[in-house]
Structure 1
């Protein structure tokens, strides 16, 4: 759900500049996590307009950040991508802070098959990932996502699908000289420590974000 604005002047946490910045609101922080190395830094979303992105190649927008604030800084995000950057958007995009994010729709589900994940077009982030590891976590379905994304760009590739009707879930599309990845569910980075193939997504996401 979009959140209310908070003045950037109230934020004084240091920003770690790296090839990939994890944009958060004081929640999960990938910087310093095993496997991320020096490639990942962290920035509070309210500090983002004050960060020099010249050497940054990719942004991970956490699912819990203030989307109203992101929309107010839409030109900054569009400029970053169109110049060749890559952005991975986590969670339900409910404001138009980037063109092409589509419209998130909640699924009407009655059982596990309605939330089962299948792979779509090949993509490096999901390389080697068994969709069964995404469909069920500790015996429970629905952790990965409980909805789908409608009205996605015509030139997008759909990398995962959900449910009996294989509706679009994860997708990637070009924007200017860069690319945007949209995941309409819980943050992909939340699987980084799982004891199965789903743990591959975080390092592979970082690899993809650092490419040009």
Structure 2
């Protein structure tokens, strides 16, 4: 029996592309296009995770801060893509670019094992079409208590491009300070792997109320 589709909310500038829907469908994921003001009524039981695209309207997200907090307090999972210019939460600080943009400073190092990156080598995050820098060129500073997942440069702990934060008030954030997670890879197989990992991770959170095995 085929698994049922996992529906996720996606806030971005414009509708969900057909190519993304097609690739996600192969991993039994569907995306519903949401607007920032939809956060006022979005429920975890309907959308166990809400993904914020790298081109989402951050000013509108600031206006809908109460809805974002409401969703998180229900135990929701928010996956943020992109550099923070306008923060919808006081704990989320503006983007800090890398001081130098050479290969050494754009190399991705895995700091902690995370289910999203199961079977995804760090080299695949560093390079796209043989060029470094697509994964990230800086970081959104993590709040106290957050766990760095991937870092950049010769001192990756100081530049966590990806981190996970379980909010004390409820809910969780996964932060990726770069282009959308789904677009990073040259390989269709790698993109499918990330989408399958996403499905498994979100289901663990939704079904058990916590991110089981989230970090080791």
The answer, yes or no, to whether TM exceeds 0.5 is yes
**Counterparts of 1:130 and 1:198, CA distance in 2:** 12
Equivalent in the alignment of 1:101 = 92
2:14 to 26, 29, 32: 26
1:19 match: secondary structure: strand
The unaligned stretches of length 5 or more in structure 2 are 207-216
* Count of aligned pairs: 194
The structure-2 alpha-carbon separation of the partners of 1:118 and 1:156, relative to structure 1 and needing over 3 Å to count, comes to: same
Matches within 5 A, 1:36-51: 36-37=27-28, 39-45=29-35, 48-49=38-39
**Counterparts of 2:154 and 2:97, CA distance in 1:** 14
Equivalent in the alignment of 1:171 = 163
Equivalent in the alignment of 1:6 = none
2:202 match: secondary structure: helix
Contact 2:54 2:179 in 1 (8 A): yes
Question: Which region of structure 1 is more displaced relative to structure 2, 71-80 or 19-28?
Answer: 19-28
The structure-2 alpha-carbon separation of the partners of 1:62 and 1:136, relative to structure 1 and needing over 3 Å to count, comes to: same
Matches within 5 A, 1:11-160: 19-26=7-14, 28-29=16-17, 30-33=20-23, 34-37=25-28, 39-45=29-35, 48-49=38-39, 52-53=42-43, 54-150=45-141, 152-160=142-150
The two structures, once aligned, show a CA RMSD in angstroms of: 2.4
**Counterparts of 2:27 and 2:13, CA distance in 1:** 19
1:27 deviates by 5.3
Q: What whole-Å deviation, never above 9, does each CA across 1:149-201 have from its counterpart, x for those lacking one?
A: 33x21211111000111121100101223111110011101136625646522
**Counterparts of 1:196 and 1:41, CA distance in 2:** 19
Question: Which region of structure 1 is more displaced relative to structure 2, 103-112 or 132-141?
Answer: 103-112
Q: TM-score, normalised by structure 2?
A: 0.79
The unaligned stretches of length 5 or more in structure 1 are 1-16
Does 1:186 find its partner at 2:179? yes
1:40 match: secondary structure: strand
